[in-house]
Structure 1
Amino acid sequence: MLGGLRKCLMAFVTVLVCVQPSRGSRKAQEHLGAGVKLFQLERYSEAAKEFELALKVDSDLSEARYYLAVSCFNERRYPDAREQFERLLPSGYQKERVTYYLGRLDLAGGRLDSAIRRFESLKRAEPLEDELYYLGSALIKKGEPRRAVSVLKRQINFNPRDFRAYNLLGRAYLKIGQPKGAEREFEESEQLHRYYVEGKQELGTCRNELAAGHPDRAWAQCGPVLKTDDIDKLVAVGMLFGEFHSYDHALQAFERALTLDPESPEINYNFGFTYFQQKRYPEARKFLEAALGQRPDFFEALAVDGTVLYELRQDSAARQALERAHALRPDDEAVSRLLTQLNHESPR
């Protein structure tokens, strides 16, 4: 009787031991929880340390590995991010999101065929993230703008406020010889981008510091954007600092953005316009020419380029640029005034 009871008790204790989480498992969960809190605050470097500690305790904790991979991605530690995402693949944990991030990593590394395959494999009724935008980007870089057009239209259909998609669609239209369609998309992109900049809460502190005459404090707040690959945020920061005549800081933001997207007419224009404001006309010309090479009917770039050429006393070239700008917007007073002045001046 007692022997049977003892066996039952031992069996019950064994079940409890199997069911209850071990001390190690609890410790892993504690590190995971702490990491997730830091992750939600966008403190990715600190979060990654917690996820690494969790994985030291429990190397099979897929959730910690996934968050570690995304943290590394957000910190631009791309080799580390790829390693963690690829280790997750066999488990099937967050399979679609892992595929999305590996596609992003392929695109950033110039592995276009692999990026396209991964993004195209995410066949869903609705996009998981913004994979259609990145698929469009990969197709344009591969020289397939016609395929990119249909993909980007789908992205806009799902997210009509994605100004990046309108901009990329405009660039695709240019490459297939549809300049009017391109300008329509560029204008929509620019309007939406203004809303984006105005609505960015994190830029509010920078704007307040700049308005108060404290550009260094503002840069301490917004300067870390240089460590990201967020082109839109970089451009927004550059435009904000340019607006308050903090040109050196603006140029730093645009320079970083241009390394990520050297063919962007908007970034080249912003670079040129900033140099124009500094009266550094030869430098301005270089970037304005690049912008117009990608987007010939870019009104703002034509207007500034015409003004720069006028200041450089290249009157014939200035007249050509201003006449093109005037044809696009006949009611623009500044362009009309400078063009009239140029036509009535004696040769200089």
Structure 2
Amino acid sequence: MTRTVAALLAIVAGMSQAQVSQTQVQRPGIEAHLSRGLELMKNQLFEAAASEFEQALALNAADPRPRFEFAVCLLSLGRNDEARRQFEQVRQLTGESRYVTYYLGRLDLLSNDYASAIQRLGSLTKDPPFPDTAFYLGVAYVFSGDLAAGTKSLERAAKLLPHDYRVHYRLARAYSSAGRGQEAAREYGLYSQLRDEHKNTEKEVRECTSALRTDPLAAAREVCHRMDDPNDPEKLTLLGQLFGDAGAFAEALDPLQRAAELDPNSFEAWHNLGVSYFRLERYAEARAPLERAVALRPNFYGSVVLLGATLYMLGEDDAALPVLERAHRLNPDDTETVAVLEKLRARRRK
């Protein structure tokens, strides 16, 4: 069988949010709705994502996966009472879950039920589902009047999230309330610095995007490398994504590799690293990052289909077939994936 890149690049093109959200499927299944919803959430398109999860629930109301993601969307949209009802239903379906407990604790905090927020979030301190668990617990303690416990939790959050200016602001307030002026001044300084850096990052993104669109690559590289922070995996990932969006995949490799080393659990770093290697036709090197991305987000269609395409290009048909079949279940209307699957199945029959 002749293996060409053209058809598989068309598969990868199907990863864009706009294409996924606009595609029409006559009878999509739960997996397709779930996959589309997760991709929309990745771009913070919560209204559209919520619609996908609702359609999945209409097919099977007992499936906790779309219900959980639907609840997260509702929370992100500020529909807190609806979100709580959905999380409670997930708990009825699956039993106790630290993820559901985390979100219910955040909802308690938003409704000023500090005692319940402390109880829920405090039960997660040994195995927190997300790094900001300690931050929300600290805020709940402070608002409840327990300044000492709140300060301790916020100090722990500052170690886990050193670049989150919200944490330093709350910790500065706590220190100030406790009369610890020198420490409060330090945290206020960090808050101002990180907030300004956040604003500067937005400015740098605009400048980098503009340079990549209008300038020669050598000139654009100088502009974009202002974002290169060797200690910040998120900025490195963002830099790699900007290069990749502009088609400068070779330029994207270095920042994405360093981002993945700094944060081995960053789905975005691994996924975009795999995309860059694939676009450069370096399939053997694309495989490991994509396998890692799929392990981190098994229902993200873009990573699954790209891993299947990579295995196909490497000539590993037996490994590619189940991966592409899973991709087809996640997005059954992708005609390019169907075409490759038919070739693989025909080859197996022969």
TM-score, structure 1 as length reference = 0.49
Q: Which has the larger radius of gyration?
A: 1
Of structures 1 and 2, the one with the larger relative CO (CA 8 A, separation 6+) is: 2
